[in-house]
Amino acid sequence: MPKALMSVYDKTGLVEFARGLIDLGWELLASGGTAKLLQKNNLQVTEVAEYTGSPEILGGRVKTLHPAIHGGILARNTQEDFDQLKSMGWSPIDLVVVNLYPFESTIAQPNVALADAIEQIDIGGVALIRAAAKNNDRVTLACDPQDYPSILQAFSDKAMNQALRNKLALKGFRLTSHYDQAIANYLEGSEVETLTLHPLQSLRYGENPHQSAVLLGYRHNDTPLGGQVLQGKELSYNNLLDLDAAWRAVVSFKKNSIVIVKHLSPCGMASADDQLTAYQAALASDPVSAFGGIIAANRTIEKNTAEAISDLFVECIIAPGFDPEALPVLAKKKNLRLIVMPNLEIEPKVEYRSITRGILRQDVDFGDKTQADWKVVTEIQPTAEQMSAMKFAWTACQHVKSNSIVFAQGESTVGIGGGQPNRVDCVRIAKQRAGDKSEGAVMASDAFFPFADSVEEAARFGIKAIVQPGGSIRDQESIDFCNSKGICMVFTGYRHFRH
Active-site amino acid positions: 134, 263
Dihedral sign from CA coordinates of 424, 428, 434, 439:
positive
d(CA 149, CA 189): 39
